[in-house]
Amino acid sequence: MTVTTISGYEVHVDPEGFLTSFDEWDEHLGRVLAAQIGIDLTDEHLRVLRFLRKDYEEVGETATLRRVSTLAGVPTKRLFELFPKKPAKKMAYVAGLPKPHGCV
């Protein structure tokens, strides 16, 4: 995997820019990644990101929108508001997780 520097962080990324090492992420880096795609993180965003990371640790794959909506209690419509256009892909990117299966 490629190593790149993002705001002073040296991180491993795949060809699409998704982090490939779970332990290289922290909330500050998440804020930087979010800003790169035009999102200013709020506590509500962070709640979703924390759920995604915890779920990934337990399940071993990035949660789908349906899983986030059901288990984290965030309606799908709200996920689209928080992470416009491609919420699953954007949530995974900002959370430092692999792109979810089925995302183009």
Both structure tokens of 59 = 């399940």
Catalytic residue among 13, 32, 37, 103: 103
DSSP state of 13: E
Q: Is residue 31 part of a domain?
A: yes
For 28, the domain range is: 2-95
Q: Is residue 18 part of a domain?
A: yes
> Is 49 among the catalytic positions?
no
Q: Is residue 104 part of a domain?
A: no
pLDDT at 6: 86
pLDDT at 65: 92
DSSP state of 10: E
pLDDT at 62: 94
Count up the domains in the chain and report the number. Answer: 1
Q: Is residue 58 part of a domain?
A: yes
Distance CA 68, CA 77 (A): 12
Q: Which residue has the tokens 């795949």?
A: 14
Q: How many of the other CB atoms lie within 10 Å of CB of 14?
A: 12
Q: Is residue 100 part of a domain?
A: no
Does this model's pTM top 0.85? My answer is yes
Both structure tokens of 86 = 């491609």
Q: Is residue 20 part of a domain?
A: yes
Rounded to the nearest angstrom, the gap between the alpha carbon of residue 73 and the centroid of all alpha carbons in its chain is 17
Over the chain (104 residues), the average pLDDT of each successive run of 10 is 86 91 94 96 96 96 93 96 95 93 60
